[in-house]
Amino acid sequence: MYVPAHFEENRPEVLHQLIADQPFGALVTHGPQGLDANHLPFEFEPVEGTHGTLRAHVARANPVWQEVAAQPETLVIFQGPAAYISPNWYPSKHEAHRQVPTYNYIVVHAHGRITVRDDEAFVRGLVARLTRKMEADQPRPWKMGDAPADYIKQMLGAIVGIEIEVTRLVGKWKLGQNKEARDRRGAADALLANGGDMQEAVAEAMLNAPPAF
């Protein structure tokens, strides 16, 4: 990923928070047919290993868990909020007309080595923890015990666990840090006035990001 210095985010706590807030990641692997991508909810343990550990599960019918044995190097992409930025929102555009459209966005790339964990105890624990996290804001959170034990056992047998030792985290916070303060404010104000939750999240991040100059 191309990361100009003014868009680089390398504070571990910030990168970890993005993964915690946006746990649905794109797992990119290299198999016999070339590059492959699978979209999965991940559990992240930042204190395990040098740069943390990611865990997820895939369908047993998905060949990815067998293919990664030969190519364990992998990448997981966690996408934060993103929003289109119109040149019309920059005050300087109306003076010199030297602005173009762009997207502002937040993203974390987690590089690492993948290991297959094909055992029921690992998968059961992972599914239980992911379920508790995802169901936490529900009025009556669903739990594995709500379903018959034989059904849960059958479902667990249909999936395989994966574990990724993270070797490198790369963060890119492209938030207009290279723009004049008045242009950043103009774009952020437009997002806040006209956008939804995603646009508002980008606007808040733009207002909080330190300028490049």
pLDDT one-digit tens code per residue, 114-151: 999 999 999 999 999 999 999 999 999 999 999 999 99
- Residue 195 falls inside a structural domain: no
46 Cβ neighbours under 8 A, 6+ residues apart: 12, 16, 52
Q: Tokens for 116, please give them.
A: 């297959």
pLDDT of 213 reads 67
Q: Is the pLDDT of residue 212 over 80?
A: no
- Residue 169 falls inside a structural domain: yes
- Residue 30 falls inside a structural domain: yes
Domain residue limits at 127: 5-81+103-176
- Residue 36 falls inside a structural domain: yes
| pLDDT category of residue 95 using cuts at 50, 70 and 90 | confident
Using a 10 angstrom Cβ sphere, with 0-12 exposed, 13-18 middle and 19 or more buried, the burial of residue 192 is middle
Q: Is the pLDDT of residue 177 over 80?
A: yes
Spatial distance between the Cα atoms of 191 and 202, rounded to a whole number of angstroms: 8
Above pLDDT 70, what percent of the chain? 100
Spatial distance between the Cα atoms of 3 and 25, rounded to a whole number of angstroms: 20
Q: Is the pLDDT of residue 33 over 80?
A: yes
pLDDT of 93 reads 72
Q: Is the pLDDT of residue 48 over 70?
A: yes
pLDDT of 16 reads 97
- Residue 138 falls inside a structural domain: yes
CATH number of the domain where residue 150 is located:
2.30.110.10
- Residue 146 falls inside a structural domain: yes
99 vs 203 pLDDT, higher one: 203
In Å, what is the CA distance from 187 to each residue of 80, 95, 138, 175? 18, 16, 35, 10
Spatial distance between the Cα atoms of 95 and 69, rounded to a whole number of angstroms: 57
In Å, what is the CA distance from 79 to each residue of 86, 92, 110, 161? 21, 30, 11, 22
Using a 10 angstrom Cβ sphere, with 0-12 exposed, 13-18 middle and 19 or more buried, the burial of residue 98 is exposed
- Residue 97 falls inside a structural domain: no
pLDDT of 210 reads 85
Above pLDDT 90, what percent of the chain? 92
Based on the structure, what is the number of domains in the chain?
A: 1
- Residue 17 falls inside a structural domain: yes
Query: Average pLDDT of the chain?
Result: 95
50-90 per-position pLDDT tens digit: 999 999 999 999 999 999 989 999 999 999 999 999 999 99
Spatial distance between the Cα atoms of 29 and 44, rounded to a whole number of angstroms: 18
